[in-house]
Amino acid sequence: MQVGLGSMPSSHFHDANLLCTFQTFASKKSLANKITANDSPLASHSPVNKLNPRLGIMFGTKMTFWITTMAIGALLFVGWKLTARGNYETAAYQLLDSEGPFELRDYPEIMLVTTDMATASNGNDGSFGRLFQYISGSNERGQKVKMTTPVFMESDPTEPTGTMGFVIPQKVVESSIPNPTGSRVEIEKRTAGRYAVMRFNGRLNERSQTDSEAKLIEWIELQGWEREEKTEFAGYDPPWTPRIFRRNETLIRLK
């Protein structure tokens, strides 16, 4: 037999209201406990909550790496700019004509401080060091002479040695050139003349010298010019200059 609420005794009705109130309270408390559990230290051990700190660490590490890399790159760039060829006096010449990497130039008389150099050594035999000592004060007046460009190198494949020369700054030439005190170092005059020249970048070594010399001789012959037998090479940059920015030249005097 079914009994409606209206037919229930008042005491039973009161008990039913208490039961509903208790059930509502228990439901709310259970929900609150779930929320608190998610915020507890135990919840931080879940895979989802572990992910955020790890991502933060990884992001911070990458940012530190890139900032450090950019800072080092900026310092290297500044150092290169401070020592790049643009900061040095360069031997003067007049450009008469050009065709791709080839040029026709007139050079005036140039004064050089020179030393002997083993063929194809490019200064690695101590010749560069002897010249650098001269401009650093190893001369009769103890005078420091500014570095210039290019460094000229002349070699003859049939001879065991060639020469390396630094251009003496024009102001020193106009005043008075101090005589060297170091052995195997001399002051020489590079007479004025017309030169065929090939410019190229990369490293100045035996392979690049041989290749550029062959190309330059071919260009000279195509022009119908007569040339001298000796070939000169010129380097304009310090050793740490990136290959792509380096300036090298091969020069042959014309008759």
Q: Is residue 62 part of a domain?
A: no
Q: How many alpha carbons fall within 13 Å on the CB side of residue 15? A: 5
Q: Is residue 215 part of a domain?
A: yes
Encode pLDDT of 89-104 as tens digits.
Answer: 999 999 999 999 999 9
Q: Is residue 250 part of a domain?
A: yes
For the question of whether the overall pTM of this predicted structure is more than 0.95, the answer is no
pLDDT the model gives residue 61: 74
pLDDT the model gives residue 65: 74
pLDDT the model gives residue 130: 96
The count of structural domains within the chain is 1
Burial of 26 by CB count in 10 Å (0-12 exposed, 13-18 middle, 19+ buried)?
exposed
What CATH number does residue 145 fall under? Answer: 3.20.80.10
Q: Is residue 227 part of a domain?
A: yes
The boundaries of the domain holding residue 92 are 86-254
pLDDT the model gives residue 69: 77
| N-to-C CA span, the chain | 134
Segments in the chain below pLDDT 70:
1-60, 73-86, 120, 122-123, 157
pLDDT the model gives residue 236: 96
pLDDT the model gives residue 47: 52
Q: How many alpha carbons fall within 13 Å on the CB side of residue 2? A: 2
Burial of 110 by CB count in 10 Å (0-12 exposed, 13-18 middle, 19+ buried)?
buried
